[in-house]
Amino acid sequence: MQVLLSFPHVLGTPGIGTTAWHQADSLISADHEVHVVAAGVARPLPGAASVTTSLAAKGLRVPHKALGRDRAFRWHDTVARSVLARTPVDVVHLWPLAPGLTAAAAREAGIAAVREAPNTHTRHAWRVVAAEIEALGYPAERTAHTHDAAHLAMEEAELGAVTGVLAPSAAVADSFIAAGFEPHRVLRHRYGRRPSPRRAVARGADTRPLRAVYVGLGEPRKGLHHGLRAWLDSRAANDGTFTIVGRILPAYARLLQPQLQHPSVRVAGFADDVDAALAAADVLVLPTVEEGSALVTYEAQGMGCVPLVSTAAGAVMDDGVHGLLHRPGDVAALTQQFDRLAADRAELAELSGAALAHAEELSWDRAGEHLVLAYQAAIDAARSARAVAV
């Protein structure tokens, strides 16, 4: 299969940059021909058919802010469209944000185009996050999920032109269908986990205090406040530990200060070695209220760390088999889960072993197989649309 991957950010950087890099790498490993257009490249991509950097001059990267973010996104889209015009491909894979120039060109040429949805539909995400902030009485700090009319206009132009939307979780798929997308245009796939050099072992049934870890940005959207409240309401907090790995937004940290000062809570800050933090814990806590499909839920299983996550986290796992799920904001359910596993180490050991075994299914190579199936569905849809037009 010949693929054009358009990524208007820096490929290989933490977050979505890592996700997009692994997608391209998994396709290349499966002998697909991949042409990449990215704003910049932080990590080489051996085997790519071609790599074009859209925001570079004389070998140096041009920051988005130097052009203005919206102008930078439009310029990237223009470059990607020009690459498409001279490159025969079967499918175009677009990542947000772009004003839809490449998507429209693909549609006009009868080429399938899919657009990644790393989070729920933007209107849904804004609504959910705004409601959480209001409920907290929180002085909002601007984040990627703050209302932005210009970005919404870009997104809607692109979404209107593509063959389908790539949804990495049921929560994402449901949000797009609720926003009016035809179900056949919402294509399910999933993300993956990178292999770790760290040896992973299942947790034992020995009696010892429960060790919980939260990994990620501390912000209302991720629900850290729900996790802390559930932890402090549980008996596990009497002798266990709740470690926070990641930066906490300043105003949010001030809001949570009383909970953060509890003797059982440890604020570790940002860490490069996330696997070490997961290996040192029994359970991963991610009570997020809005998400796409959090990579840390994949990584946790690879370390035998049992996910205690909300249904909004987009975790690829079976409830009660590889981890435990709760509804977003359901503090009582999460409290019961802490108590349950703190009291029953045998169940914790069973869940940990099952999660570790399941991690074999969560590789990026397996994710690539799901991605190719989604591509094929889009190609078939585009072919059918061409036949109808004729």
pLDDT in tens, the chain (390 residues): 999 999 999 999 998 999 999 999 999 999 999 999 999 999 999 999 999 999 987 777 888 888 888 899 999 999 999 999 999 999 999 999 888 999 999 999 999 999 999 999 999 998 999 899 989 987 666 555 566 777 777 788 888 899 999 999 999 999 999 999 999 999 999 999 988 888 899 999 888 999 999 999 999 999 999 999 999 999 999 999 999 999 999 999 999 999 999 999 999 998 889 999 999 999 999 999 999 999 999 999 999 999 999 999 999 999 999 999 999 999 999 999 999 999 999 999 999 999 999 999 999 999 999 999 999 999 999 998 777 765
Looking at the DSSP bridge assignments, the partners of residue 245 are 215, 269
Q: What is the pLDDT of residue 157?
A: 82
C-alpha–C-alpha distance, residues 17 and 1, integer Å = 22
**What DSSP line would sit under 168-217, residue for residue?**
SSHHHHHHHHHTT--GGGEEE----B---SS---PPPS-----EEEEES-
In DSSP terms, 93 is beta-bridged to 5, 114
Q: Any idea where the domains of the chain sit in the sequence?
A: 2-192+364-389, 211-361
What's the pLDDT at 173?
Answer: 97
Of 311, 319, 306, 277, whose CA–CA distance to 294 is shortest? 311
**Three-state DSSP class for residue 346:** helix
What span, in angstroms and rounded, lies between the C-alpha atoms of 188 and 210? Answer: 35
What does the alpha-carbon distance between residue 192 and residue 296 come to, in Å, rounded to a whole number? 10
Domains 2-192+364-389 and 211-361 equal at CATH topology level: yes
Would you say 309 and 290 are in contact if contact means Cβ atoms under 8 Å apart? no
Rounded to an integer, what is the distance from CA 82 to the centroid of its chain? 29
DSSP readout, 139-174?
A: -----TTS--HHHHHHHHHHHHHSSEEEESSHHHHH
Name 369's bridge partners.
none
Give me the pLDDT at residue 158, please: 87
Q: What is the pLDDT, as a whole number, of residue 271?
A: 87
Counts for the chain of helices (H) and strands (E), in that order = 15, 15
**Pairing, β 56-57 against β 60-61:** antiparallel
Which residues fall within 8 angstroms of residue 95, CB to CB, at 6 or more apart?
A: 5, 6, 7, 8, 9, 16, 20, 115, 116, 118
Running DSSP on this structure, what letter comes out for residue 359? Answer: G
User: Does domain 2-192+364-389 correspond to CATH entry 3.40.50.2000?
Assistant: yes
SS3 390: coil
Supply the pTM of this predicted model: 0.92
CATH code 3.40.50.2000 for 211-361: yes
Distance CA 245, CA 266 (A): 9
Closest alpha carbon to 214 in 334, 356, 340: 334
The answer to whether the CB of 4 falls within 8 A of the CB of 89 is: yes
* Of residues 356, 350, 327, the one with CA closest to residue 193: 356
**What is the three-class DSSP state of 118?**
coil
Both tokens assigned to 115:
């657009």
How far apart, in Å, are the Cα atoms of 296 and each of 36, 173, 258?
25, 20, 27
* 4 in Cβ contact with 50 (< 8 Å): no
- Residue of 351, 331, 353, 326 whose CA lies nearest to 341: 351
Residue 298, both tokens: 């994949």
- Strands 241-245, 306-310: pairing kind: unpaired
